[in-house]
Amino acid sequence: MILKSIALVAVLSVGIAPSAASAAINNNIGECNLYSLFEQNNRSDYVTRVSASISYGGYQSCVLDSSNHIKSVLAKTSARRNTLESDIKQKIYQSIDANLNGSFDLDYVSTNLNGPMVFELKESNGKIIAKVGGVGISSKAKITLKNTPSVIFKAYGRISSPEIWATAEYNPYTGVISNINVNPVNLNVDFETRFLGVSIPGLSNLIDSFVESKLARAIAGFANDDRLSGARTVFSLDKAIPSGEFFYGGEDLGVKAKDAIRYISSGQSVRISVSGNSLTYNNQPHTASINVKLSDSVEVQLDSVRRKNPLGPDNCPVSCH
């Protein structure tokens, strides 16, 4: 079975936590039950479920995404991350190729952006300070001698980085991030032989400055450019998290969650993690996620899961049709 999933998990904090910690969230209940959706869509090869779930103490509930806000938010974040990774891949390839001795060919370069993009928001002296980053780079290049089979000569180069971070300021009333400063990247560059002609300091400096610039633009794009119309929080969470759907003890937990994100008070913090860079609806798997954590035990999960339908046209008994 091929699994395609997008998840947005929010552990949110406001006020005093309930006496019992929230149970692990269950988004396969009620109208979100995936097997029921398979049965309802038995003529489809694949079934997509986009939903919002919540867990608070012993309370569990899940509703389908009727507004398409969840799908829209995750599509924007996955596309933004994909663009960032593609730009870095291209730059590393071009930089290695341009620095090689003319006697060698660049056979391939494989580059990945590792880890989630993290936004940590904290109150400090009346301002909300953002620590942004957390991604790392890993790249491997294979180099061969011109007109010579690789079984006779091949060499490898590796480029990597620890987590890359930036600092910025966040306006909780508008959701805008500004004054973004990316810390020096400091790539680790390692090639097996000096005969390749690669200038490691030159290559490192060239890619370092490019990554710093691209990361700063991506941060601004994630936070400021990709919000849904009318949204006033980072990642449009005030639009994506539904109101009027989840009630516990007479309180609307959706509103409680969104208020926690909009009004960050002294001693509180918000951690948002963006993972995955692919969101497609064909027969290819995808995975992307946004996770938001505060210090309360309310957990909200907004996700889109795409799976091969075991009751689809190729597998469904005659009774299904």
Mean pLDDT of 48-53: 86
pLDDT digits 0-9 by tens, 201-234:
778 888 888 999 999 999 888 888 888 888 888 8
Q: Residue 57's Cα: distance from chain center in Å?
A: 27
Percent of the chain with pLDDT over 70: 83
Q: Of 223, 214, 80, 196, which Cα lies nearest the Cα of 142?
A: 196
pLDDT digits (tens, 9 = 90+) for 237-284: 899 999 999 999 999 999 988 888 888 877 778 888 887 666 666 666
Residue 14: predicted pLDDT: 34
Instruction: Using pLDDT thresholds of 50, 70 and 90, give the confidence band for residue 296.
Output: low
As for how many domains the chain has, the answer is 1
pLDDT (tens digit per residue) in 183-198: 988 888 888 766 566 6
Q: What number of residues does the chain have?
A: 321
142, containing H or E segment: strand 127-145
Residue 90 inside a domain? The answer is no
Count of CA atoms in the C-beta half-sphere (13 A) of 53: 24
Q: Which two tokens stand for residue 142?
A: 């294979």
pLDDT-derived band at 116 (thresholds 50, 70, 90) equals confident
Residue 111 lies in a domain: no
On whether residue 110 sits in a domain, the answer given is no
Residue matched to tokens 């002294």: 266
Domain of residue 9, residue span: 3-71+227-320
- Taking a C-beta distance cutoff of 8 angstroms, is the pair 261, 237 a contact? yes
**DSSP-assigned letters across all residues of 277-313:** EE---SSS--EEEEEEE-SSSEEEEEEEEEEE-TTST
CA distance 234 to 223: 5
10: DSSP letter: E
Packed helices 69-99 and 200-220: angle between N→C axes, nearest 10 degrees: 160
| pLDDT level of residue 20 (50, 70, 90 thresholds) | very low
The answer to whether residue 117 is domain-embedded is: no
* 103 within a domain of the structure (yes/no): no
Q: How far is CA 73 from the centre of its chain?
A: 11
Structural domain includes residue 35: yes
Position 306 in a domain: yes
Judge whether residue 9 has pLDDT over 50.
Answer: no
pLDDT of residue 317: 55
State mean pLDDT over 17-21.
36
Is residue 285 domain-resident? Answer: yes
